Amino acid sequence: MANSKYEYVRAFEHDDNLLPNTWIVVRIDGRGFHRFSDRYKFQKPNDERALNLMNAAACAVVRDLPDLIIAYGVSDEYSKLVTTIVSTFTAHYVYLWPSFFPTPLEPEFLPSFDGRAVQYPSVRNLRDYMSWRQADCHINNLYNTTFWSLILRGGMSNTEAENRLQGTVSGDKNEILFSQFGINYNNEPEMYKKGSVVFRDYEIKPQTEKNDGGTSSKEGDFDTGEEGPPSEMSKSQIAKLRKMQKKATVVIRHVDIIKDEFWEQRPWILSNKPGKLPAVD
Ligand code: ATP
Ligand code: ATP
Ligand code: MG
Ligand code: MG
Q: Provide the CATH number for the domain around residue 57.
A: 3.30.70.3000
> If pLDDT is split at 50, 70 and 90, which confidence band does 82 have?
confident
Pocket test for ligand 1, best of 28, 29, 33 (most atoms within 8 A of CB): 33
Q: Give this prediction's pTM.
A: 0.75
Q: Is residue 85 part of a domain?
A: yes
Q: Is residue 160 part of a domain?
A: no
Domain that holds residue 29: 23-138
Q: Is residue 146 part of a domain?
A: no
Distance CA 36, CA 31 (A): 8
Nearest to 196 by CA among 50, 33, 52, 95: 52
Q: What is the pLDDT of residues 109-150, one digit of tens each?
A: 999 998 888 888 888 998 998 899 899 899 999 999 999 999
Stretch 165-192: mean pLDDT? 96
| Number of domains observed in the structure of the chain | 1
Q: Is residue 66 part of a domain?
A: yes
Is 31 labelled a binding residue? yes
Ligand 1 atom closest to Cα of residue 44: 29
> If pLDDT is split at 50, 70 and 90, which confidence band does 74 have?
very low
Q: Is residue 227 part of a domain?
A: no
Characterize the bridge pairing of strands 113-120 and 197-201. Answer: unpaired
User: 81: helix, coil or strand?
Assistant: helix
Q: Is residue 154 part of a domain?
A: no
Cα–Cα separations (whole angstroms), residue 195 to 27, 230, 231, 252: 14, 30, 33, 10
Q: Is residue 231 part of a domain?
A: no
Q: Is residue 206 part of a domain?
A: no
Could you tell me if the CB of 144 is within 6 A of ligand 2? yes
Could you tell me if the CB of 115 is within 6 A of ligand 1? no
